[in-house]
Amino acid sequence: MNDFIVVIPARYASVRLPGKALRDIRGRPMIQHVYERGKESGATEVVIATDDERIAEAAEDFGAVVCMTGDHHQSGTERIAEVADLMDWEDRQVVVNLQGDEPAMPPQLIDQCASLLDDATADIATLASPFKNQEDFQNPNCVKVVRDVNDHAIYFSRASIPYSRDEGSERRAASAALHHHGIYAYRCGVLRRFVASAPSELEMCEQLEQLRALSLGMTIAVGVPPMRPGTGVDTEEDLERASTELP
């Protein structure tokens, strides 16, 4: 497996849960739990990327490597691309984007995502699981991905794809799609090309940045993990649920 680095983009502002990176879970800030998941993976280095001094100070207090970035970024991907340039990482370096609100992400899934880039034909890697129920398949907040025979992404959508044309075939449609998880691995050269490109029409329509990669002709490897990631934190209820899922 290629050596990989984990970068955790973290911002203070959040519409639904302001300051969530520093919210307490079991006596420690959430960002510390995310950092520990990164350290428990096979990463050679873990970096917290932020534009907020409060997050940087908290991270340095528990011994994390911090990279201060600009405050103009529209996504964690853009923030990570700045880190890659500031750190002068080579184009072939593999980086995993571990979101700062995933304190219960199993470390083996981080490693699995990075390992998917052992496939030389893949530009980006991510993970997705079978849907738990029909309700999630129909929920636009649950992103769907369909794959080809090489386990490469054909398309991502908030809509329920594939469409069930025949009455009574909804279960077949749900089983043909996977529930996408928001973890990515990239080679830095691919990351630089991605952020240098304008958002595609598909991306702007669905508000899914991975559609920019597909529009650019990039190949996205999609692996199915042996377990589902823990709860991503967006609300007070998520905080409580994540606390019960931590190792």
pTM: 0.94
CA distances from 106 to 90, 114, 203, 210, 232 (A): 27, 13, 28, 22, 12
pLDDT of residue 16: 74
Percent of the chain past pLDDT 90, that is, above it, reads 78
Distance CA 130, CA 114 (A): 20
Mean pLDDT of all residues belonging to the chain: 93
Closest residue by Cα to residue 188 from 101, 124, 111, 109: 124
Alpha-carbon radius of gyration of the chain: 18
DSSP state of 118: G
User: 169: domain range?
Assistant: 4-245
- pLDDT digits over 209-244, tens only? 999 999 999 999 999 999 999 888 988 888 889 889
Q: What is the CATH number of the domain that holds 113?
A: 3.90.550.10
- pLDDT digits over 78-133, tens only? 999 999 999 999 999 999 999 999 999 999 999 999 999 999 999 999 999 999 99
Q: Which amino acid is at 232?
A: G
- pLDDT digits over 51-65, tens only? 999 999 999 999 999
Pull the structure tokens for residue 213.
């990669």
Domain count across the chain: 1
